């Protein structure tokens, strides 16, 4: 792996709508939550789409959903809850472009740090996030259903305000 390529497919990026909830939930189940059960159901995704403190983005090729991202915004920290790209569209820059939109939104909102967790064994995702500038911040044993360890990572966007809480919702 040498990095993340530019988009070589004709993709559009936009805010998710209510009609995207089921497709996002299915992608989460199939690409992220495999073997863990299904916690990001359509109802949960729909709540996120309607939450003013959450940004839900989608990438499409034509009418087909090929990627999505969900990020919660707090006072000074944001939490990247989910980001996935369809297996047939990986390493084409789709994930990077989704994250770039989230990062620009975080900068505009005055966010100091973006945090995330990912499966400790997901080396492709670790590489992707390192390429985006994320650094390891720790491990959480049993984070996923008390069965799987999570790697915690963070991307510092600016220095946090002194004395402020740094947690996203």
Q: Does any domain span residue 36? A: yes
Q: Which 3 state secondary structure label does DSSP give 110?
A: coil
pLDDT digits (tens, 9 = 90+) for 130-151: 999 999 998 877 666 677 778 9
Q: What is the pLDDT of residues 29-41, one digit of tens each?
A: 999 887 777 789 9
Assigned domain for 60 exists: yes
Q: Let me know if residue 32 belongs to a domain.
A: yes
Structural domain includes residue 116:
yes
Question: What is the tally of structural domains in the chain?
Answer: 1
Q: What tens digit of pLDDT does each residue of 52-97 get? A: 999 999 999 999 999 999 999 999 999 999 999 998 888 889 999 9
Residue numbers of the domain that contains 48: 12-156
With respect to residue 2, please indicate whether it lies within any of the assigned structural domains: no
Sequence-ordered strand ranges (E) for 16-110: 54-61, 64-73, 77-85
Q: Is residue 106 part of a domain?
A: yes
**So what's the pLDDT on residue 150?**
85
Candidates 80, 135, 126; CA nearest to 102 is 80
Contact criterion met (CB below 8 Å) for 120 and 66: no
Q: What CATH number corresponds to the domain at position 108?
A: 3.40.630.30
pTM: 0.85
Query: Does any domain span residue 5?
Result: no
Q: Is residue 122 part of a domain?
A: yes
């Amino acid at each position: 792996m040498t990095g993340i390529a530019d988009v070589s497919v004709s993709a559009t990026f936009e805010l998710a709508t209510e009609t995207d909830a089921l497709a996002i939930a299915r992608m989460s189940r199939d690409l992220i939550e495999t073997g863990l059960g299904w916690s990001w159901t359509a109802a949960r995704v729909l709540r996120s789409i309607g939450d003013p403190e959450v940004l839900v983005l989608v990438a499409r090729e034509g009418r087909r959903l090929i990627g999505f991202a969900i990020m919660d915004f707090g006072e000074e920290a944001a939490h990247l809850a989910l980001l996935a790209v369809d297996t047939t569209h990986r390493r084409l820059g789709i994930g990077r472009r989704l994250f770039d939109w989230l990062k620009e939104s975080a900068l505009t909102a005055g966010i100091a740090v973006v945090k995330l967790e990912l499966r400790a064994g997901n080396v492709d995702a670790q590489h992707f996030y390192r390429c985006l500038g994320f650094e390891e911040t720790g491990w959480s044993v049993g984070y996923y259903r008390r069965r799987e360890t999570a790697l915690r990572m963070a991307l510092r966007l600016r220095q946090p305000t002194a004395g402020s809480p740094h947690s996203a919702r």
